[in-house]
Every structure is written in structure tokens, then in C-alpha cells.
Structure 1
Amino acid sequence: MKRTLVFGDIHGGLKALIQLLERIDYSVNDRFVFLGDYVDGWSESAQIIDFLMELSQKQECIFIKGNHDAWCQEWLEENTINDIWFLHGGKSTIESYTGIDYSQKEKHHNFFNSMKDYFVDENNNLFIHAGFSSMHGPEKEHYQTNFSWDRTLWEMALIMDKRIKKDSLLYPKRLLLFNEIYIGHTPTLHYNVEIPMQGCNVWNIDTGAGFYGKLTCLDVETKEFWQSDVVQTFYPKEKGRNK
């Protein structure tokens, strides 16, 4: 039976992803959906892009683009360093590309360029890095940066959870558009939670792998989830991302 397995933000933690995959009893029939932010944080950003490209040759993979991926793509394309990016994980990403030749960087750039802003599956589940603001859905979004930056969707879902019923006129129209919505971008560690969180029909799978949390994968159908060890334990001499 085909499953959809969704992965939270990785942030350069290749060793954690390898361990997580070893803990999941998956088959070649399963679909992997990665919610973005593959780079910036731990020291193996370039290496994880190689790993994901290779993985996609063996497994059905959907790659959503996160804000950190957009920054890295811009650097690979224009060789310009965004100052904010540099301070929030970009430095470690640039260092991870030391010794990688131009042709491989081109492959990485093409990989970033092929990523999706969002994905809707056959069950009307939305997978997106951050969120969207249009009450008509992401396809009507005026500000496409919201796909990788918006936090209002998640904050709204948390506030509305269990307070207003779906049939109320006050229920957010954005949330009625999809069966379920899966996001990353905002670490659950911000709420002192180390596992996936749910607000209304929105599931947050970013459990802080880029900071001092674990990397998480969740089965969309059953809500069973798996986690790596705390990612920092794989990189004891590193600090991860700045807050």
C-alpha cells in the first residue's frame, strides 16, 4: 500500500536524515514529501543536496522549496551573499561547498530550480513550507514569498483550534480549502514541544532539527511519526543555526 511520508526541515543535518530513514520501515512504493529548508545550519548542506538528488532516483520524492533554499539558490545563481542569509545558516552552507566544482554546483542549482512552491495530493492535502494568505488558496496568492515565509496560517490555526466549529461563519476560509495542510518553517521548539503539532487541520512537522531538536517524518494517513536523535549530537562541535 502506498503511503505518503512527510519530512520536516533538515537544515544540513545529513547524518540525522540517514538515521531517520533507517528507523522508518518504508518501501519503494511510498512517496516522500520534503517540506523544504534542506540547507543552512549543520555542516553538510551541499552533501544533503547530493543525497536527496540520489534518493529521488530510487524513491518518489516531492521537494518543496523553503526560504533557506531560495537564498542558497540565489547564491548559486548570482554568487551574491545575502547578509541576513549569511547570519542565519548561509555561512555553514557556503563552507560546505568548498571543493565542489562548477558542474556539480550547476546540478544543485537546477535541483533548487525544480522544487515546488507547494503540492496538493490526490486527497486534497496541501504540503507547503510556510503558508499562504489568500482565502482562495495558494494558486491565487499575490505574494509568492508567503509560500516560504508566511506564519499567519500556522498562528491562526493554533488560535482557532477547538474554539470555533467548521460550520461557523467565523471559521477561517483558508482552512476549509484543504483536507489537511502540512507545513514546516516554524520550529515546534518555540512552543516547548519536541514532536509534530496540530492546530485545526494544519500539521507542523518542523521539530527544530536546525537548532537543538530532532528531525521528524510523519505518515499522513495514520499520523505515526518517527524521529532522529537530537541533531546536535551528530555535530557536537557545531552550533547549528542562529535563532
Structure 2
Amino acid sequence: MSKKITIAIDGFSSTGKSTIAKLLAKKYNYIYVDTGAMYRAVTLFSKQNNFVGKNFLNKDELISKLQLVRLSFQFNQKLGFAEMYLNGNNVEKEIRTLEVSQLVSKVAAISEVRKKLVAEQQQMGKEGGIVMDGRDIGTVVFPDADLKLFMTASADKRATRRYKELIDRGDKVNFDEILFNVQERDRIDSTREDSPLIKAKDAIEFDNSDMGIKEQFDRICSLVDSKLED
């Protein structure tokens, strides 16, 4: 299996994009890039420097300091996947909080932020053999990707998954607040001017509202295998 393809996975928040992408990367020995983690890391940087909050966004300040943001993924052998580093520090846990989730769409809507991260993502994937998930991978980052998937599920199902994930991690969270966050992120991601969340014309849509991980994974592996055999 020497052929290496590019797999782009887009979709709404909490649809399991990262879970599927990690499984695919492991099975096919591909590089996995969690672009959402990159936007979350820039959001964390913005929060730490008081550029963004629940009721404010100092866009010009953030743009002027973007050159100070250094992002990298470092593979964790124990976990089996790469973790997000911001300016040399592991921020994997900090970027997964509800507070960052509530702010990330604001930061991700800034054109200068998207331009910087898209350039980095394209550089990471130029050799193929990559699985990348996010909001604009099949439309902007890799419009010529060999396989494009678009993940969706009902807002209620996605909020339930996110709630369980955070509770299992020990976070004290409120379901209604998470449901609102999911719906608000959908609204912002789908209506922003720069690279809105839309399904690429040649993407295969996966509504996994009532589909388990194994069923999704098996079906997607069949699609990957077909592409590798072409």
C-alpha cells in the first residue's frame, strides 16, 4: 500500500471528526492534524493576553501579536497521538475547556488568523499521507483532497456527547450551557465571511446521529481502501 492520499474531514463541532481521524491515521500510518486544536491554541493565547473574552474581542491587538504564536504537534507515544504545543508548552488540556470552546469561533473568524493557520496546514500536508479535520479542509486547505468527508449530527446528540466527555474528565458543566455553545458555534461557523463551514460539492456526508464509532470507521475505511485501489 505505497500510495498515499490526502483525507479531509469537515463538519460541525462535536461530531467525532477527531476521533475518526485519529483512528484512520493509526490504521493507515498517516499523519493526523487536528486543525481545531490549532485554532483553540490561538484562542488560548488570545485569552491569556486579554485579547478575547465572553463580551469582547481586541481583534487588532491579536493580529499585531500573531507573529508571537508558535504552534507544533508532538507525538505522545503513550497516548498514541500528537498533542498541541503553544510556544513550546503542552496545552492539550487547557484548549479543551468549555471556556475556550465558547471563544474559539470568534477567533477563528478572523481572516488573518485563518490565513496563518491555513498556510501552516498546507505545508504539513504537501506530501500526502495525511488525515486532517476541521471546518474548511475540503473547501480551502485541500480543495483537491483525494477523499472528503462531511460529518454532521443533531445538535442535541452532539451536546450530549460533549457533556459526557467533559463530565468524564472531571469538569463541572451544565448541559443547557453546552447545548447553547454547540448551537452558537454552528451559527458563527456557518455564517462567518471568511471560509464559512460548508459541505464541499464532492464531499461524502455522514450523519452520525445514530451511528456508533465502529460502524462509521468501517464504512469510512471502505471508502479509503477504494481510493487507494484507484
Q: Same fold (TM over 0.5)?
A: no
TM-score, normalisation: structure 2: 0.29
TM-score, normalisation: structure 1: 0.28
> Higher helix fraction: Structure 1 or Structure 2?
2
